[in-house]
Amino acid sequence: MNDTWEQEWLAQTDTDGRPNLIKSNTGIRLKAATYNVAEYCMKSSSGATKQHIWEKPEKLLAIRRWISETDADILMVTEDATYLDADGTKHGAKLLYNDRYPSWQGGWPRIRSRFPVIRPKKANGKELTLIEVKPPKNATPRSDGKSSSRYFAFGTAEIEGKTVLLFTVHPRNSYIPYDSNPKVGPVADRMNFLQIVFDLVYCLKDKRITDGICNLKNWDYVVIGGDFNTSNRNGYDPKTGKDYKAGEEDWNNLAKLRNHYRFDSANGGYLGWVTTFPDGKEALDNILVSGNVILESIKADSEWYPELYSDHVPLVTTMTLLDGKDATRFPDRTHEGKTVEKDLKQLRAWLKELLTGVIDHPCV
């Protein structure tokens, strides 16, 4: 990657890396949160219920209280399954979220929003709920029999006349290696997954790529939230009692990817670190924003642990979507007008394939 942008980027920040605009920015103020609810309503393939929500009404009430007190505009939830009721209906989801977040997109990773979310559509006109990222072709099956695929949800929200591209992502963690090839281990897998997300961000900015293929408007701002499973430290696996040394490599790789596209991190950026995975003392959850968004505060709601009955605690951040000339002071790297026609054809073909709902892992 060409890192000549870094000097320009640092010239616009204080010595601690905080953007100079943080004290004088104007624009759209938002509060966003991400939370891994830990399979609280997952049904197994056999039909048996796992940790049924109605068996833990105190968890339902705790989530409701947290939603009310946090009062976020956008909530990006991972491990957010569909089945909340004993009869397998969606009635419980309405009780839990819909009075505050009437619009949603996704499935296992899900976007919930106060603003109407426009869902992407397949070529046949059907709405696309999730993108499945299949495992590498040379991957060995997981020993627990579960799918090795990972998923992300995306859509756009119109906020005060601006188009905000939203993602909820959940790459796999470090404890579950499924590949016999060390070149496609957990760290490489996470980065390849996130590279797909950023490639999609790139495509959805350029009208020349999206015209006739994707129904979503080209974005003005981007917010990507979820359980990234990328740590700020070499971690400890409480399940096996062993250390794993993915943390430093994880974060360095994510930082390179993030910086290449001029995105900022709520967790691990100029606002510092907060722990969202208490057992491992790690910062696994994050919210990334395009460079024309200023992050103003970050908080891990650790006072809710373990009341929410999850191994994660929610991550909450406030931000401003910059307007006017301030918005151009942090140009996004994803749209520089340098795409050649040959690349356009390749990107249009890739985007069309992705919008079928299933995409191959790029590392094969």
Q: What is the pLDDT of residue 56?
A: 65
Q: What is the pLDDT of residue 9?
A: 46
Q: Which helix (H) or strand (E) holds 211?
A: none
What domains appear along the chain, each with residue ranges and CATH number? 5-359 (3.60.10.10)
Rounded CA-CA distance 292/280 in Å is 33
Look up residue 346 and give its two tokens: 């390749």
Q: What is the pLDDT of residue 350?
A: 93
Angle formed by the axes of helices 247-260 and 186-203, to 10°? 10
Q: How far is CA 229 from the centre of its chain?
A: 11
Q: What is the pLDDT of residue 58?
A: 73
Rounded CA-CA distance 194/200 in Å is 10
Mean pLDDT of successive 10-residue stretches along the chain, which has 364 residues? 46 55 75 84 44 61 85 91 48 64 84 94 88 75 69 95 96 53 61 90 92 95 93 59 61 80 87 84 89 92 80 93 74 56 86 91 58
Q: What is the pLDDT of residue 127?
A: 92
Look up residue 157 and give its two tokens: 């929200």
Q: Are 178 and 137 a contacting pair, CB within 8 Å?
A: no
Q: How far is CA 238 from the centre of its chain?
A: 24
Q: What is the pLDDT of residue 11?
A: 53
Angle formed by the axes of helices 341-354 and 186-203, to 10°? 110
Sequence-distant (6+) residues with CB within 8 A of 106 are: 80, 129, 130, 153, 155, 168
Q: What is the pLDDT of residue 89?
A: 45
Q: Provide the residue count of the chain.
A: 364
Rounded CA-CA distance 242/177 in Å is 14
Pairing state between β 263-265 and 221-227: unpaired
Q: Hey, what amino acid is at 280?
A: G
Rounded CA-CA distance 135/193 in Å is 10
- Alpha-carbon torsion angle 174, 141, 88, 285, nearest 10: 10
Q: Which helix (H) or strand (E) holds 165?
A: strand 162-169
Sequence-distant (6+) residues with CB within 8 A of 145 are: none
Q: Are 209 and 216 a contacting pair, CB within 8 Å?
A: no
Look up residue 77 and give its two tokens: 């939830």
Q: Hey, what amino acid is at 250?
A: D
Q: Are 191 and 253 a contacting pair, CB within 8 Å?
A: yes
Look up residue 147 and give its two tokens: 């799918």
Q: Hey, what amino acid is at 82?
A: T
Q: What is the pLDDT of residue 183?
A: 47
- HSE value, Cβ hemisphere, 13 Å, CA-based, for 55: 9
Long-range Cβ pairs for the range 304-308 (8 Å, 24+): 304/62, 304/66, 305/278, 307/58, 307/62, 308/35, 308/37, 308/59, 308/62, 308/63, 308/66
Look up residue 91 and give its two tokens: 């009635």
